Amino acid sequence: MARTPPEGHGPVRYGPPAPEPGLPVPRDLADVLAAAALRTPGEPPGGGPALREAARGYWRRRGLHGSADDIAAAPGPQPLLFALLAAHGGDVLMPRPCPAWWTPQARLLGRPAYRVPTPAECGGVPDPYALLETVRRVRAEGGAPRLLLLSVADDPTATVAPPETVREACEAAVGEGMHIVSDETWRDTLHWPHDTLLVSPAEMCPDEVTVISDLAGALLPSSWPAAVARFPATERGAALRAGTLDVLTALGAIVAEPVAAAAAHALDEPAAVAARRERAVALYARVAAAAHRAVLASGALARPPRAGRHLYADLGPLRAGLAARGVGDSMELEEYLTDRLGTPVPGGHRFGDELGALRVRLATAPLLGATAEQRAASLAAPEPVELPYVAAALSDLGAAFAELR
């Protein structure tokens, strides 16, 4: 039987990075980085003892117990996921849409990757029935689906999957013999933490889930690349970690010593780090909520943002107004809104959505101000959306959407 090519299988192309924080580097993190700048030994592949122990403590405080020997670190999420995929083998399944940086890692390995629709209430986690149907179809065509990528707190949709949805998807995947990689980069950026229940797949299926996190999500500046992975405390988990370290070693993918020191400090979550993170999350939550209102007022659609520094808008209801401007797909929509708003607005095709769907990811960081001083003032303001430059940016966003009606 001829095998259907997986969606998106082809050349590796540039994809948009995760939304930038847009805020000044915290002074205590900068001091730790500077103090480590003259160290010469360097980190070993997978991270040194201090970094791995800090990651172990970070996950222990979130109910995921284990040993520092279950942890591996890399200079950013891309090499970490690449090494993990190379070590595991098999075809990869991921939700539609998904983070833009996932698919290129599978492509670089020549690994088939298949997208699975998500339920109506959230992104990041595949619909369990669609997952089972995709597994059945891929196997019938000679494929070997062995790995599922998901994200409970999701980029690009900014949603948080309900625990029952996560449980059903994980049970379906494990029942089909698949290992799960849970990207929890955005778990510490919940906009309403007291009203949002986030449950890690590793709590539900501890022996079948590897957790990864890009520390740029909530703890480090994106220019200081560091990511960590927590493998299951099983023989299979140890073998997967060992294979991942082999690939990281071959790539020379080692966390820089000063960045490792800053990462360990951030993962320890001292009071200053935790307080700064809470202020930043509260800021993004307020601005994202205001941006969401502006999008809905135009007649476009968007799920309420619950995590992260962005929201995912569907301009399908504004298709006629866009067509009048020569915009008929998400690639043209990306070009139009990037030019109109003066900031990158990646289209849904970057995240695996259909090209004909008029969807975009809107970052909130550009709304916080044009200078470091303005962004710092936004962080300190009790009502940041009332600052003149934030209000003006939100007004321009609303006008760009409203003029399409």
- In tens digits, the chain (405 residues) has pLDDT values of 334 445 544 444 566 766 678 899 999 999 999 999 988 777 999 999 999 999 999 999 999 999 999 999 999 999 999 999 999 999 999 999 999 999 999 999 999 999 999 999 999 999 999 999 999 999 999 999 999 999 999 999 999 999 999 999 999 999 999 999 999 999 999 999 999 999 999 999 999 999 999 999 999 999 999 999 999 999 999 999 999 999 999 999 999 999 999 999 999 999 999 999 999 999 999 999 999 999 999 999 999 999 999 999 999 999 999 999 999 999 999 999 999 999 999 999 999 999 999 999 999 999 999 999 999 999 999 999 999 999 999 999 999 999 999
Burial of 10 (0-12, 13-18, 19+ CB in 10 A): exposed
The strand pair at 91-96 and 179-183 is best described as unpaired
**Structure tokens of 83?**
């090494």
SS3 209: strand
47: left (phi over 0), alpha (psi -120 to 50) or beta: left
Residue 140 host element (H or E) = helix 128-140
Residue in the block written with tokens 């993004």:
284
What number of other Cβ atoms are within 10 A of residue 51's Cβ?
28
Residue 351 and residue 224: Cα distance in Å, rounded? 24
**Structure tokens of 295?**
């999008």
The strand pair at 310-314 and 359-363 is best described as antiparallel
Q: What's the one-letter identity of residue 207? A: D
- Strands of 352-398, DSSP E: 359-363
* 181 strand-pairing partners: 149, 210
Residue 302 host element (H or E) = strand 301-302
- At 346-394, the pLDDT tens digits run 999 999 999 999 999 999 999 999 999 999 999 999 999 999 999 999 9
Angle value at C-alpha 246, between 208 and 264, nearest 5 degrees: 75
Q: What's the one-letter identity of residue 381? A: A
* CA separation, residue 403 to residues 150, 297, 313, 397 (Å): 36, 11, 16, 10
Residue 123 and residue 360: Cα distance in Å, rounded? 14
pTM of the predicted model, to two decimals?
A: 0.94
SS3 286: helix
**Structure tokens of 113?**
């990757």
**Structure tokens of 112?**
């088939």
* CA separation, residue 10 to residues 94, 107, 202, 329 (Å): 16, 7, 32, 20
Closest CA to 158 of 13, 314, 344: 314
Residue 1 and residue 50: Cα distance in Å, rounded? 52
Backbone torsions φ then ψ of 7, nearest 5 degrees: -65, 140
- At 8-42, the pLDDT tens digits run 444 445 667 666 788 999 999 999 999 999 887 77
* CA separation, residue 220 to residues 29, 137, 273, 311 (Å): 8, 41, 10, 21
Residue 60 host element (H or E) = helix 49-60
The strand pair at 145-150 and 113-117 is best described as unpaired
User: Could you tell me the maximum CA-CA distance found in the chain, to the nearest angstrom?
Assistant: 62
Sign of the CA dihedral with 53 first, then 71, 19, and 308 last: negative
Closest CA to 151 of 117, 114, 107, 201: 201
Backbone torsions φ then ψ of 87, nearest 5 degrees: -75, -30
